[in-house]
Amino acid sequence: MSELITELPILPNYINGQWCDSAATEFVHVVNPATGDRLAKVPLSPASEVDRAAQVAQEAFQSWRRTPAPQRIQYLFKLKNLMEEQFEELSRTITIECGKTLDESRGELRRAIENVETACGIPMMMQGTNFEDIASGIDEFMFRQPLGVAAVIAPFNFPGMIPFWFLPYAIACGNTYIVKPSEKVPLTMQKVFFLIDQLGLPPGVVNLVNGAKEAVDAILDHPLIRAISFVGSSGVARYVYSRATANGKRVQCQGGAKNPIIVLPDADMDMTTRITADSAFGCAGQRCLAASIAITIGEARRTYTESIAAAAESRIVGNGLDKGVQMGPVISTESRQRIEQLIGQGEAEGAKMVIDGRSPQISGYEQGNFVRPTILQDVNPNSTIAKTEIFGPVLSLIHVETIDDAIQLVNRGQYGNMACLFTNSGAAARKFRYEAEAGNIGINIGVAAPMAFFPFSGWKESFFGDLHGQGQHAIEFFTQTKVVVERWFKDWSRQF
């Protein structure tokens, strides 16, 4: 076994336009969560490698910011084309290291590419404003200028998409960039950087540093790094936000979630079931926009419980690469154990088990980290399972009498990433949209993920900062405004 481990490839970093071996002395295994196979070793890069990446990125910034925006986006057009060419290969890589089904990986990658496409609009999106004769003979302009070096610290659940909520906008605006992928799923970014390497970008514009806490802390403290985007759990998000802002950086941190959906009795139950089953169990529940609590009203208690239980039971669980599989494993053994422990705690705190997905036997994948879809009923809103982010395929059902009770329950939650309503009533939908305390709202939508040209909002404990990722918010995050007030003493018409 130890022989096998030493044969595993050690993933390089990509700094200053070159692949380079890390000087790390500690490594983590990258594991296929469906099979338990070890795929590679990822170095836990020391702070010195973040420093090197920041130094070269700072150097590259001097000329990159002077490269006209229409020229900068030519690299993004090329990147889009390369990603399209490698679409299937990249999707397979996401599935192999992250566990989701191939279709889910394709969907993730499509979202990544949409962000590249949107950032190609930077010559329009980055425009400032101007005002002639703000006073007699005086004009005023507002320009947007890039900040310098920026970095992203990414989570495990969307290895292909999440760096792309930030990277294309950052470089299109004239910044230079460092990507720190999750140490659990570093392979997809390795492949993306093979494509980035083919773009002919000036060295140092985009850099890749693998690692974990030491690399993150080095990013948070580095004096040359001006802006940091983080996506991950709320505890780490809070830590990253406070340490990096204390160091004077511009920071946006997207945190965890506990997303509620409300099902009214007038909802189209077939459609609602299909959509919400995908929300709760798709990506094995490891989406920050996964439905985690379903609040039923009136007759929906019976009808929805029956239909969602049937949908959960019939979901085909297995290796995401296999045809017909609808749900893959969770990311790690620790994660599976944590999810199963929380399910047990839910039962111990009084919830009724509708479908118990613990310890399934998936033939041929005995080493995989599988949890089948799980549903608990009559969950006490104050219980652990109703309040804790589970990040697994577990749906808690809670019944209330009125839509006001339901919205109150939604708004009691500590997180505010997403809330959804299923109904045929426009009036109910409007009330919900208006009153629900969450940054992403779905009406008859189960995963209310904003398109690339909208900001990925998130409220309360789901977000620390001000400007969100994607769209126009990204432009504001990756630029600083400069206002120029201008007067010319001579009358131009008399000069010639």
- Torsion angle of C-alpha atoms 461, 462, 467, 472, degrees rounded to 10: -160
* Distance in Å, CB of 81 to ligand NAD, minimum: 27
From candidates 49, 114, 183, 278, binder to ligand NAD by CB under 6 A = 183
User: In which element (H, E) is residue 368 found?
Assistant: none
257 binds ligand NAD (CB under 6 A): yes
Please name every residue paired with 149 in a beta bridge, in sequence order, or none if there are none: 176, 225
Active site residues: 288
Residue type present at position 418 = M
* Distance in Å, CB of 383 to ligand NAD, minimum: 19
233 binds ligand NAD (CB under 6 A): yes
**Using alpha carbons only, what angle is made at residue 483 by residues 482 and 489, rounded to the nearest 5 degrees?**
135
Q: Which stretch binds ligand NAD (CB under 6 A): 15-23, 96-104, 108-116, 178-186?
A: 178-186
Q: Which is nearer to ligand NAD, 58 or 254 (CB)?
A: 254
Q: Which is nearer to ligand NAD, 216 or 375 (CB)?
A: 216
256 binds ligand NAD (CB under 6 A): yes
From candidates 175, 417, 470, 479, binder to ligand NAD by CB under 6 A = 417
Contact status, residue 189 vs residue 181, Cβ threshold 8 Å: yes
Q: Which is nearer to ligand NAD, 288 or 447 (CB)?
A: 288
Positions in 202-221 near ligand NAD (CB under 6 A): 212-213, 216
Distance of alpha carbon 284 from alpha carbon 287, whole angstroms? 8
DSSP of 200-214: TPPTTSEEE---SHH
From candidates 365, 370, 391, 432, binder to ligand NAD by CB under 6 A = 391
Distance of alpha carbon 337 from alpha carbon 341, whole angstroms? 6
438 binds ligand NAD (CB under 6 A): no
From candidates 114, 389, 461, 476, binder to ligand NAD by CB under 6 A = 389
* Distance in Å, CB of 330 to ligand NAD, minimum: 11
Q: Which is nearer to ligand NAD, 235 or 350 (CB)?
A: 235
Long-range CB contact pairs, 379-385, < 8 A, 24+: 379/293, 379/346, 379/351, 380/349, 380/350, 380/351, 381/409, 381/412, 383/345, 383/346, 383/349, 383/350, 383/351, 384/342, 384/345, 384/346, 384/349, 385/342, 385/343, 385/345, 385/346, 385/349, 385/351
Q: Which residue has the tokens 């529940």?
A: 285
Q: Which is nearer to ligand NAD, 154 or 354 (CB)?
A: 154
State the residues that interact with ligand NAD by CB under 6 A: 153-158, 180, 182-183, 212-213, 216, 231-233, 236, 254-257, 288, 389, 391, 417, 456, 458, 462
